[in-house]
Structure 1
Amino acid sequence: MSGPLAGVRVVELGIWVAGPAAACVLADWGADVVKVEAPGGDPQRAFSATLGDTAVNPTFEASNRGKRGVVLDLRSPEGAARMRDLLARADVFVTNLRVPALERLGLAYEALAGPYPRLVYALLTAHGLDGPDRDAPGYDVGSYWSRAGIAAQLAAPGGPPPMPRGGMGDRPAGMALAAAVCAALYARERGGRGQLVTTSLLRQGAFTLASDLTSVLRTGAAMPVMTRETMPNPLVNPYRAADGSWFWLLGLESGRHWPALLAALGDPPWAAGFPTPAVRATRRAELTALLDAEFARLPRAGWAERFAAAGVWWSPVQTVEEVLADPQVRASGAILGDVVAGPCDFSADVCAPGRTAPRLGQHTDEVLAELGHGETRGTGAGGSGAGGSGSGARERGPG
């Protein structure tokens, strides 16, 4: 493996997206990640059935590429012993199982800190380790999107909350946990000991909404929920072009960006009625309607040419198909073949994300052989491709 974490050994006991996403980031950065699954597998393996194609599972692949897959029945003495062997050689343990499940399996932090003092134990929960709902189940649509306030702040006044996309809170939380792991590994280099590092979907949601929450904390007043018509600065708004496609103006500094926008519009005569940012804010709904009429005159490609010539700051509102066809997206390194890369690069280390996720139990024999164990089929470890009904390790954790 290449990357800044080459040589770091990670054991993951994760399900759904958030925990596996954290381990996926570590794998992208060069760590050797062994994903441990119950005989029935990570429940996200079955998600492809909802897409009507059991041969392709995009959500599982996106969070589990580049890992080695091992099946262990952690309820059996043999499986539990094999897990301890893995942890004895590991630098990092990543999990998003709920704490009661980890306690029943003998894998809670308190049970591992003594035997493995150098282990960095990375735990991702739904709601945190304290409080009345610390052990409550959760996914990102609940703990991150709904409970942390994001859905309400994005809903139109009086309207229903918007629907999130899959893994929208899971992957940022996974990235946060991966960053915490790296900080803990650095601290271990100085102090010689591992430690518990945690984050939660709820905390990630609160951090995402920090501007709104801080407004209430410091001033007692909430930031208003905006619509296109109530946005104080109509130069930071989405608009629809003649071909039906949308784009977003980025004129955050109204006084600075107003002249360029007028030049792109051909200096319309009505502009004299909006001479200052204060006037434009007061007459915001009227100005938005005038801009709507202007932008309905040309397709988005036509406005792109005019914006480029005038120096207007803007961005297209793109579909996923347009994102994949965007040359800048490709040039940024976001897409590598048929893999969506992680968001970070390193100048001195080449990171090559793994292309595929492991089949269930694909590397069981290989990994356990490295620990000095022979053939595993028929034991509590579970062989390559083993089936079965699952184990206590499958108790649902955060998404």
Structure 2
Amino acid sequence: MLLEGLKVVEMATWVAGPSAAAVLADWGATVIKVESPAGDVTRSFMPDTPESPGNPIFTNENRGKQGVVLDVSRPEGRAALKRLLADADIFISNVRQVSMRKLGLDYESLKAEFPRLIYAAVTGYGLVGPEADAPAFDITAFWTRSGVARAMIPTDQEPFPSRPGFGDHVTAISTVSGILAAVHERHSTGRGRLVETSLIRAAAYTISWDLGMALRYGQVVTAQPRDERPVGISGMFQTGDGRWLCILPRAEDCFTKVMIAIDRPEVLADPRFELPILDLEITREVRAMCDAAFATMTLTEAGDKLTALDVAWAPLGTLEELAAHPMARDAGCFIEVGDGWGGSFRSVAAPVRFPEGAPEVTRAAPKLGQHTREVLEAAGLTPEEIAAVM
């Protein structure tokens, strides 16, 4: 079913690489996670003990995998890894290629020995150029370096970092897409290929509406102070109970609908407010009307009016509200996974659902080295060879 029968070997840490492999595991692939004796650093972010079972950070990126410990700095560790790659379909790594070349584990070193292997290299800034081996995280490469942060943070605010994993998960899904394209091609050619993704390229695509205009026209207006934005009914408005809502107009009749919602129908007969409104002072007047009206309503009252008028709006929600909301449950945002100690807890689902049937996602993330012996035995290593790497 789905990816059943695909074997994935992952040697990656942190988020983007492991997350791509976790999605493949969710969809039925057999995924072997290879870690150093120190383990993936995300193991240390939260406790995983009988008293506090199930590290939600590590589980999010590593559920459903088999865990193997290999020290690839030693010849025995590299030899064992190659035994795992011998019948693997996909190898995923976000180890910098300068290190992989030293170990003889880069694509050029492996492709002759494993011609069917699809090699997915998850990088910060790509595989060529002077910054190919520069250290990168999603907060530095995807959010900050790319221009995404500057495009999203209004110029009258102090810049701030993104939340952890924000760009990593976009890059992970991009990696999954590239891998599956290569799998499809291999059905015809019988050969694997190099698949490269990068935080910077994923960021450029994510912000491509703005970046595309910048490429075409040389500049683009992005995040502006609220009082300088050109559409008076668009954006965030605070309600009388201290909540915020966001309105996004999708057609000219949205202006009419919002004026009705805020009980200002007389505005519609005033020629000063005929669309398009190009005078910024009139735009500010419209925004002030909306501010004043929504300040007299609760979020529920405002939302009921906007919903009845078919206006695209949403409350500025919290993570706690999302976790408790039936809509998120119905949309398939959550799954129940094992905690590795005999229990389970709720976690975040991959962003694609298969309503007509898919593998059940319940397996816990592996303990460090949990499956080393059985995986190496299945790969045909002798007891002496296994003892040399354990």
TM-based fold match above 0.5: yes
After superposition, residues 1-399 of structure 1 pair within 5 angstroms as 3-48=1-46, 56-253=54-251, 255-267=252-264, 269-270=266-267, 272-273=269-270, 275-279=273-277, 282=280, 283-337=282-336, 338-373=346-381, 379-382=387-390
Structure 2 Cα separation of the partners of residues 230 and 353 of structure 1: 47
Q: Deviations over 1:47-105 (max 9, x none)?
A: 227xxx97553221111111111001112232222111100010000000000111122
2:340 maps to none
Structure 1 Cα separation of the partners of residues 210 and 65 of structure 2: 38
State the SS of the aligned residue for 1:138: coil
* Distance verdict in 2 for CA 1:376–1:136, change over 3 Å: farther
State the SS of the aligned residue for 2:226: coil
Preserved contact between residue 175 and residue 197 of structure 2 (Cα < 8 Å): yes
* Distance verdict in 2 for CA 1:223–1:351, change over 3 Å: farther
**TM-score, structure 1 as length reference:** 0.89
* Distance verdict in 2 for CA 1:102–1:370, change over 3 Å: same
Moved more, 90-99 or 66-75: 66-75
In the TM superposition, what is the alpha-carbon distance from 1:331 to its structure 2 partner?
A: 0.3
State the SS of the aligned residue for 1:128: coil
Structure 2 Cα separation of the partners of residues 244 and 17 of structure 1: 35
* Distance verdict in 2 for CA 1:297–1:311, change over 3 Å: same
In the TM superposition, what is the alpha-carbon distance from 1:376 to its structure 2 partner?
A: 7.8
Structure 1 Cα separation of the partners of residues 110 and 187 of structure 2: 19
Structure 1 Cα separation of the partners of residues 142 and 366 of structure 2: 28
RMSD: 2.0
Preserved contact between residue 233 and residue 277 of structure 1 (Cα < 8 Å): no
Identical-pair percentage: 38
Q: What letter corresponds to residue 17 of structure 2 in structure 1?
A: G
* Distance verdict in 2 for CA 1:372–1:378, change over 3 Å: closer
Q: Deviations over 1:96-132 (max 9, x none)?
A: 0000111122210011100000000000111011111
In the TM superposition, what is the alpha-carbon distance from 1:233 to its structure 2 partner?
A: 1.6
In the TM superposition, what is the alpha-carbon distance from 1:271 to its structure 2 partner?
A: 5.3
Preserved contact between residue 152 and residue 222 of structure 2 (Cα < 8 Å): no
Q: What letter corresponds to residue 26 of structure 1 in structure 2?
A: L
Structure 1 Cα separation of the partners of residues 202 and 38 of structure 2: 30
**TM-score, structure 2 as length reference:** 0.91
**Runs of 4+ in structure 1 displaced over 6 angstroms?**
none
Query: Number of aligned pairs?
Result: 376
In the TM superposition, what is the alpha-carbon distance from 1:43 to its structure 2 partner?
A: 1.4
1:389 maps to none
Moved more, 16-25 or 334-343: 334-343
Preserved contact between residue 215 and residue 223 of structure 1 (Cα < 8 Å): no
Preserved contact between residue 144 and residue 161 of structure 2 (Cα < 8 Å): no
What runs of 5+ residues in structure 2 fail to find an aligned partner? Answer: 337-345
Relative CO higher for 1 or 2, CA cutoff 8 Å, sep ≥ 6?
1
In the TM superposition, what is the alpha-carbon distance from 1:224 to its structure 2 partner?
A: 3.8
Q: Deviations over 1:196-216 (max 9, x none)?
A: 000100111111121222212
In the TM superposition, what is the alpha-carbon distance from 1:374 to its structure 2 partner?
A: 5.5
In the TM superposition, what is the alpha-carbon distance from 1:375 to its structure 2 partner?
A: 5.3
Q: Deviations over 1:300-328 (max 9, x none)?
A: 11112222323222111110001111211
Structure 2 Cα separation of the partners of residues 189 and 169 of structure 1: 31
What runs of 5+ residues in structure 1 fail to find an aligned partner? Answer: 383-399
Preserved contact between residue 123 and residue 198 of structure 1 (Cα < 8 Å): yes
